[in-house]
């Protein structure tokens, strides 16, 4: 069963976590680590632990790196996993069994547990209506449901390679954030379904794959703003510019900015990302702060 899967993980200064992730992958599964020009020992650790390493000469962003890792995959499934996660021993087997039971499913999330062991559930997306949000009950402790949903997260995304190829993989115009929403939204448009299989489990530390700092938080906020505006415009969401302006102003006006330098930096960066966004420039790769 494991020979039917390729695991792809994208590293960027992830030396602190990539070893634990690779140690959790069951034997017999092909692992490709795509490194976005790390300045630490991410590549060396991955290679020493038997992964195939694709070393990029610059940080190309998450989606582009995932596409490089999935290229040439002749296996039935590709499993994109963040390097700050670990797999339970039966996770991959259960995901394959679920895919066999649901051949219409293009992509699946396992149950993703945070550092406290609580279930993480990405219920919402800029690309779906409130009526399509995932029900909160699926985040209940001990939940073991298998359920069809309308949105998934890219932190641990198990894809049927056929579905991934059919929609053209990740949109390489997106440098960071919302690329997972965009991918699975296009799968749904192409007629595939999305599922969460709570029997399969992944532990995800969150925010540990590339370190954390005030500067890093601001960097992420900038790209969250840019990428959301891009996907909303691409998929015809109404009034994307107005929506973005309102979000930015709400963040800037929040009283929490007076108490937290981190939140203040994030709010300013989000406003900057919103103000600077231009669809043509973004599609030409001009999205850096």
Q: Are 178 and 151 in contact (CB under 8 A)?
A: no
Q: Point out the domain boundary residue: 152, 173, 204.
A: 204
DSSP symbols for 34-48: EE---SSSHHHHHHH
Tell me, yes or no, whether 289 lies in a domain.
no
Counting beta carbons within 10 angstroms of the beta carbon of residue 142, is it exposed (0 to 12), middle (13 to 18) or buried (19 or more)?
Answer: exposed
| Cα–Cα distance for residue pair 190/172, rounded to 1 Å | 19
Q: Are residues 46 and 111 in the same domain?
A: yes
Cβ-based neighbour number of residue 211 at 10 Å: 15
Provide DSSP, 219-288: HHHHHHHHHHHHHHHHTT-SSHHHHHHHHHHHHHH-GGGGT-HHHHHHHHHHHHHHHH--HHHHHTT---
pTM over 0.85: yes
Note whether 235 and 118 are same-domain residues: no
Domain boundary among 204, 226, 257: 204
Shared domain for 166 and 252, answered yes or no, is no
Alpha-carbon distance of 109 to 96, in angstroms, equals 12
Taking only the tens place, the pLDDT of each residue in 159-211 is 999 999 999 999 999 999 999 999 999 999 999 999 999 999 999 876 554 44
Same structural domain for residues 236 and 180?
no
Non-local (6+) Cβ contacts of 173 within 8 A are 230, 282, 283, 285
Residue 173 and residue 254 in one domain: no
State which of 181, 204, 227 marks the end of a domain: 204
Q: What is the pLDDT of residues 14-66, one digit of tens each?
A: 999 999 999 999 999 999 999 999 999 999 999 999 999 999 999 999 999 99
Measuring CA to CA, which residue among 260, 289, 119 is closest to residue 197? 119
- Same domain, yes or no, for 119 and 176? yes
Domain of residue 80, CATH code: 3.90.550.10
User: Which residues form the domain of 115?
Assistant: 2-204
**Whether residue 221 sits in one domain with residue 93:** no
83 and 24 within one domain? yes
Q: Are residues 181 and 62 in the same domain?
A: yes
Confidence of residue 13 (pLDDT cuts 50, 70, 90): very high
159: β partners: 78, 107
**Region 225-249 average pLDDT:** 92
The answer on 268 and 236 residing in a single domain is yes
CB 172 within 8 A of CB 64: yes
Nearest of 215, 158, 150 to residue 13 by alpha carbon: 215
């Amino acid at each position: 069963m494991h020979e039917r899967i390729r695991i792809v993980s994208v590293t960027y200064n992830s030396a602190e976590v990539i070893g634990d992730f690779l140690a959790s992958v069951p034997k017999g599964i092909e692992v490709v680590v795509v490194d976005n020009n790390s300045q630490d020992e991410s590549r060396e650790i991955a290679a020493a632990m038997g992964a195939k390493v694709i070393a990029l000469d610059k940080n190309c962003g998450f989606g582009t790196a995932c596409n490089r890792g999935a290229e040439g995959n002749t296996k039935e499934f590709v499993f994109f996993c963040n390097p700050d996660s670990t797999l339970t021993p039966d996770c991959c087997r259960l995901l394959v069994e679920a895919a066999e039971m649901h051949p219409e499913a293009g992509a699946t999330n396992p149950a993703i547990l945070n550092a406290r062991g609580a279930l993480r559930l990405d219920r919402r997306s800029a690309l779906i209506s409130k009526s399509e949000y995932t029900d909160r009950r699926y985040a209940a402790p001990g939940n073991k449901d298998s359920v069809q949903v309308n949105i998934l997260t890219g932190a641990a995304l198990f894809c049927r390679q056929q579905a991934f190829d059919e929609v053209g993989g990740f949109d390489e115009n997106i440098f960071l954030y919302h690329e997972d929403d965009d991918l699975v939204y296009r799968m749904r448009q192409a007629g595939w379904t999305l599922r969460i299989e709570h029997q399969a489990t992944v532990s995800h530390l969150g925010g540990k794959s590339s370190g954390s700092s005030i500067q890093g938080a601001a960097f992420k906020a900038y790209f969250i703003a840019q990428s959301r505006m891009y996907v909303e415009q691409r998929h015809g969401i109404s009034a994307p510019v107005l929506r973005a302006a309102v979000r930015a102003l709400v963040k800037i006006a929040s009283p929490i900015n007076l108490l937290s330098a981190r939140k203040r930096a994030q709010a300013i960066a989000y406003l900057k990302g919103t103000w600077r966004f231009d669809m043509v420039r973004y599609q030409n790769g001009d999205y850096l702060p």
